[in-house]
Amino acid sequence: MSAVNAFIMLPRLFLTMSPRPAASMGLVRWLSSGSVNIAEPLNFWAGERRWSNQKRNGGNVYEPATGRVLCHLDECGVEDINEAVEQAKTAFNIWGKMSGMERARTMIEAARIIESRREEIAQMEVINNGKSITEARLDVDSARLCIEYFAGLASTLSGQHVQLPGGSFAYTRREPLGVCAGIGAWNYPFQIAAWKSAPALACGNAMIFKPSPVTPVTAVLLAEIYAQAGVPQGLFNVVQGGQETGRILCQHPDIAKVSFTGSVPTGKKIMEMASQGIKPVTLELGGKSPVLIFSDCDLENAVRGALMANFLSQGQVCSNGTRVFVQKDILPEFVKEVVKRTKSIEIGDPLLETTRMGALVSRPHLDNVLSYVNQAKKEGADVLCGGEVFLPSDPKLKDGYYMSPCVLGNCTDEMTCVKEEIFGPVMSVLSFETEEEALHRANDTTLGLAAGVFTSDVRRAHRVVEHLKAGSCFINNYNITPVEVPFGGFKMSGIGRENGQVTVEYYSQLKTVFVEMGDVDSLF
The set of residues, in sequence order, having a beta carbon less than 8 Å from that of 285 and lying 6+ positions away, is: 261, 262, 263, 264, 267, 318, 447, 449, 489, 492, 493, 494
Positive or negative torsion for Cα 326, 299, 357, 139: negative
Rg (CA), the chain: 24
Which residue among 284, 421, 435, 498 is the active-site one?
284
CB 415 within 8 A of CB 428: yes
Neighbour-count burial of 25, counting CB atoms closer than 10 A to its CB (0-12 exposed, 13-18 middle, 19+ buried): exposed
**34 neighbors 65 (Cβ within 8 angstroms):** yes
d(CA 95, CA 201): 8
Would you state the torsion angle of the CA atoms of residues 99, 102, 108, 110, taken in this order, to the nearest 10 degrees?
-110
Residues 6+ apart with CB under 8 A from 81: 208, 239, 245, 248, 249, 252
DSSP assignment of 272-298, as one string? HHHHTTT--EEEE-----EEEE-TTS-
What distance in Å separates the CA atoms of residue 279 and residue 257, rounded to the nearest whole number?
5
Q: Coil, strand, or helix at residue 326?
A: strand
Handedness of CA 108, 111, 113, 115 (dihedral sign): negative
Is-contact 308 478, C-beta < 8 A? yes
Active site residue 284: yes
Pairing of the two strands 56-62 and 472-475: unpaired
Are β-strands 48-50 and 161-163 bridged in parallel, bridged antiparallel, or unpaired? unpaired
Instruction: Give the integer Cα–Cα distance in Å for 278 and 512.
Output: 20
What distance in Å separates the CA atoms of residue 512 and residue 276, rounded to the nearest whole number? 26
Q: Which residues contact 522 (CB under 8 A, 6 or more apart)?
A: none
Q: Which positions are annotated as active-site residues?
A: 284
